[in-house]
Amino acid sequence: MMGRLLHYAADALMVSTILAGIKQTSGITPDITQVSEPNVRQAVHYYLSAGEYIFDKALAFAQSSSHFRPAEPINPLSLFNKEVHGGLRQYSHNDAPSSGRAEVRVPPPGKAPLFVMAPAAPARPPIALAYPADVGAAAPTRLYVLPHPRSGVPTYFAVQDDATYELLVVRPEQRVARSWMLAPCGASSPGHVLRDGALHVLSPMDPALLLLGLLASAWGERRFCPRDDLAEAAAEHHAASRAARMAARTGAAPSAPAWPEIASVLALPAMQEPLTRICATQAEPSALDGLVYRLDEARVCALLDRKVERVLQDAADVIDAQSQRHYGAHASDADVAAARRRVATDLVASYVPLAVEAVWRS
C-alpha cells in the first residue's frame, strides 16, 4: 500500500495522516472527511473530467498493490486547460448559484470544507480530488505527464514554484467497491452519485526524485552537459522507451514520438535547486544558466540515505505496521530495527530508477 506514497521529506507527517484517511475511504467507510485533519489542511474537491485522453487508455500501467497504482490518464483537469485552480469562490447554502461551477456544503464544526463541481453533462461526472490547500492558491498549477521515476510509466505531476506533486489514484478492491454519494447544496442542486469510488490525491514529493528519474539514462555518464542538452537526451530516451512498450503491447512497429513536457519541466526555474542536489556542477559561461551538470553518485546516495532516515522518523507508525511481517514474535531489537529499515528503504526505492538503486544498495 505504501509503494506509491513517498511524500516530500519536509511533509513526511502527511504519510500516516493521509494513509489513515485513505484506509477508511477505500476499505472501511466512505466518510470523506477522514482525509482531512488540521495539520494536513486537506480539502476534498470535485473536478470535471472532460476532453481527450493524453495517452491511450490501453497503455500498460504498473500496479503496486490492490489499492495503489500509478495515475491513469484520466485527464481530470482538461476543462481548465490542464491547470489546477485553487481560488474557487466559496458559497454558503443561501447564496449558491443555480448554475455555477463551484458550490460548497458548509461542513460541521471541525470538518474540512467539501467543494462540489456540478458536471456540465451527465456524461461528464466529477471525480474526487484531494490536495493540500496551497495547490493553486496563488496561481494555476500546471499538470505535466512525465515518466514515473521508477517504472517510466506516464504519470501526472503538478509542479509549482516551491512544490511538486504526484497524482495518485486510490481504488477500493472490487469486493468492497464503493460509490461517492454527494448531498445536494440546495434546491437548485440534485447532488451526485459517483459510481467510481476512486479517490485522486495530489501527493507531495521531492522534485529531486522526479529529476533523478528523468535523467536516469545519463547515470554513469562522466561528461558535464548543459541543462538543455540533458533535457533533450532525456526526452529522446523516455519517448523511445514508451514507444517500445506500446509497440510490444500492440504488435505494431515502434515509433519515437516526442515528449516535449520533459524538456519543459527541466527548464523550469523551480528545478534549479533540486537539480543541484543530485548533480555536480561546473561554471560554463556559454550555458543558458551559466552551469553544466553531471549526475553525482555520492550526492544521490546521500540524498536517498537521508530520506530513509526521515521516513523512519516521521512515518514511524506506518513503518512499524509494514515491517511486522518481516520478523517473528521473538525477534530481537536488532531484527526489528533491520526490518524497519528494510521497509523504509524499499519505500524510498519505489521512486528510484533500477540502475540508481543497484548502486545505492551496493
Residue 299 pLDDT > 90:
yes
Domain that holds residue 328: 298-361
Q: Are residues 239 and 336 in the same domain?
A: no
Residue 256 pLDDT > 80:
no
Q: Are residues 236 and 324 in the same domain?
A: no
What are the DSSP calls for 155-213, one per residue?
EEEEE-SS-EEEEEEE---GGG---EEEPPSBTTB--EEES---EEEEEEE-HHHHHHH
- Give 89-128 pLDDT, tens digit per residue: 222 222 223 332 322 233 333 333 333 333 334 445 566 6
Q: Are residues 19 and 107 in the same domain?
A: yes
The confidence score (pLDDT) of residue 356 equals 96
Residue 357 pLDDT > 90:
yes
Residue 346 pLDDT > 50:
yes
Q: Are residues 233 and 125 in the same domain?
A: no
For the entire predicted model, the pTM comes to 0.66
Choose one of 261, 294, 327: the last residue of a domain. 294
- In the structure, what pLDDT confidence band is assigned to residue 181 with cuts at 50, 70 and 90? low
215 in a structural domain: no
Average pLDDT in the chain: 66
- In the structure, what pLDDT confidence band is assigned to residue 4 with cuts at 50, 70 and 90? very low
Choose one of 179, 205, 231: the last residue of a domain. 205
Looking at the structure of the chain, the number of domains it has is 3
Higher pLDDT, 140 or 328: 328
71 in a structural domain: yes
Residue 295 pLDDT > 90:
yes
Q: Are residues 180 and 280 in the same domain?
A: no
Q: Are residues 114 and 178 in the same domain?
A: yes
Q: Are residues 322 and 336 in the same domain?
A: yes
Choose one of 294, 310, 340: the last residue of a domain. 294
327 in a structural domain: yes
193 in a structural domain: yes
Q: Are residues 289 and 306 in the same domain?
A: no
- Give 22-58 pLDDT, tens digit per residue: 343 333 332 333 333 222 222 222 222 222 222 122 1
Q: Are residues 18 and 88 in the same domain?
A: yes
Please give the grid coordinates belonging to residue 267. 527548464
| 3-state secondary structure at position 344 | helix
Q: Are residues 190 and 274 in the same domain?
A: no
Q: Are residues 44 and 64 in the same domain?
A: yes
342 in a structural domain: yes
Read off the pLDDT of each residue in 258-285 and give the average, rounded to a whole number: 93
Segment 87-92 long-range contacts (CB within 8 Å, at least 24 positions apart): 87/136, 87/137, 88/45, 88/115, 90/115, 91/185
